[in-house]
Amino acid sequence: MRNLSALSSWHSVYTSAIAFIIYMYAAWHGWAIPMFLFLAILRLSLNYLISRGWRIQWSIVPEVSETVEPPKEDLTVSEKFQLVLDVAQKAQNLFGKMSDVLEKIKNLFMWVQPEITQKLYVGLWVAFISSCLLPYKLLGFIMGLYAGIKFFIIDFIFKSCPKLRSKYDTPYIVWTSLPTDPQLKDRNNMNLSRRLSGFEKVHPTVARGNLAASGVPVGLREEDGGRINSTKKGAFHEVFNLPETERPLQVCDNGWRCCLINRDRKMPTDYIRNGVLYVTENYLCFESSSSRSSSSKKNKVIKLEDITDIQKYKVLSVLPGSGMGISIATPYTQKPLVFGAMIHRDEAFDAIFTQYVKIVTPAGATNPEH
């Protein structure tokens, strides 16, 4: 894909010009499909010869490769681990992009955004009627000619002028406007919050009655945003046995996934627990992800005013970087509690520290020291 992109971007002017002339000549005479079939056969033939030991460096499409640093022979443990992290990150990004593509295609055909799917629907009808009325030779000529101009000329202009692309490149606009499933979920939640907020401004008494009748605790609504807080196991204040006024701060509405390391415990099942960490106005709450009925006993609630020390923590000193954990010391534990494996550790630390300072310091103006 990178090589085809370089061909349409005229990375090599002479190669792209020759390819454009050959393609347009083939399309003009109706040879576009035979040309692609011949190129596929040629590529397979070259690959066969290469697999048999032939040294062939010629390629149909010009090779464009990234600069690769020569590998080191002796790597330290930290360098090896960083190499594994880089490979895992690239694989995660690749699968993430593939997932986004599949979700966008699904949402396109499911009429999630009717104004976008309507364009596809009309285009398919036009293509169907054209295929019924026009001769296949003429239809193939028109499609081949348009594909060549689009690939070599129009795409090059749009890549050179992003402003023109954002205004006039219809396929690009349609594709970027399609939402993925997470974006669609966030949009629906935002619309629901706006509707609840707007309805309560008009009918405050009725709105509270409707929320209570639907099983949603009234005390869990944000006064300023219509936000309803809950966890996977129920209403937030019920899960942690807190007052109804206690709810997660805006920065951690969905919590931070992490693992709680309680170094005072000796049993492996109690030493490490996976779950989600929240911070409210007065509490630090950890919800265990255990599915057992007794999982509520595995939850952890810490008063912010009871915290004696809070620091960024590195669980394994041999790993590179500053770590992915937060250490919380309280008078009730011999060793500080550690919330580790947090992807957004710095964001969580800033939010917790800022709220902690507001609680323990009347002025609340101290900046966190990292």
pLDDT in tens, 237-256: 888 899 888 989 988 888 89
pLDDT in tens, 211-228: 444 444 444 444 344 444
pLDDT category of residue 204 using cuts at 50, 70 and 90: low
Per DSSP, helices labelled H in 150-297 are: 155-160, 162-168, 170-177, 181-202, 204-213, 236-239, 268-271
Q: Which of 69-83, 96-110, 215-229 has the highest mean pLDDT?
A: 96-110
Range in 106-120, 179-193, 219-233 the model is least confident about: 219-233
What SS3 state is found at 247?
coil
* Residue 29: inside a domain: no
pTM: 0.51
Q: How many domains does the chain have?
A: 1
**pLDDT value of residue 208:** 47
Three-state SS for 84-151 is HHHHHHHHHHHHHHHHHHHHHHHHHHCCCCHHHHHHHHHHHHHHHHHHHHCCHHHHHHHHHHHHHHHH
Using the predicted structure, report yes or no on whether residue 339 has a pLDDT greater than 70: yes
Nearest to 211 by CA among 226, 189, 231, 224: 226
pLDDT tens sequence across 277-309: 999 999 999 998 864 444 556 789 999 999 999
Residue 294 placed within a domain: yes
* 326's tokens: 């937060």
| Residue 198 in domain | no
Q: By residue range, what is the domain housing residue 256?
A: 232-360
- Asked if the structure places residue 354 within a domain, the reply is yes
Is the distance from CB of 208 to CB of 183 less than 8 angstroms?
A: no
Q: What integer best gives the mean pLDDT of the chain? A: 79
pLDDT digits (tens, 9 = 90+) for 15-53: 889 999 999 999 998 888 899 899 889 889 988 998 888
Q: Is the pLDDT of residue 326 over 80?
A: yes
In a domain, 192, yes or no: no
**How far are the Cα atoms of 82, 312, 342, 343, 369 from residue 309, in angstroms, in the given order?**
30, 10, 19, 22, 12
Structure tokens at 347: 């964001």
Spatial CA neighbour of 314 closest among 348, 344, 339, 286: 339
Tokens representing residue 209 in the block: 């009655």
Domain of 285, CATH number, reads: 2.30.29.30
Output the pLDDT for position 364.
Answer: 43
More confident residue, 209 or 41: 41
Is 161 within the bounds of a domain?
no
Contacts of 252 (CB under 8 A, 6+ apart): 277, 278, 279, 348, 351
Q: Specify if 172 maps to a domain.
A: no
Does 329 have pLDDT greater than 50?
A: yes
Q: Does residue 107 belong to any structural domain of this protein? A: no
How many of the other CB atoms lie within 10 Å of CB of 165? Answer: 17
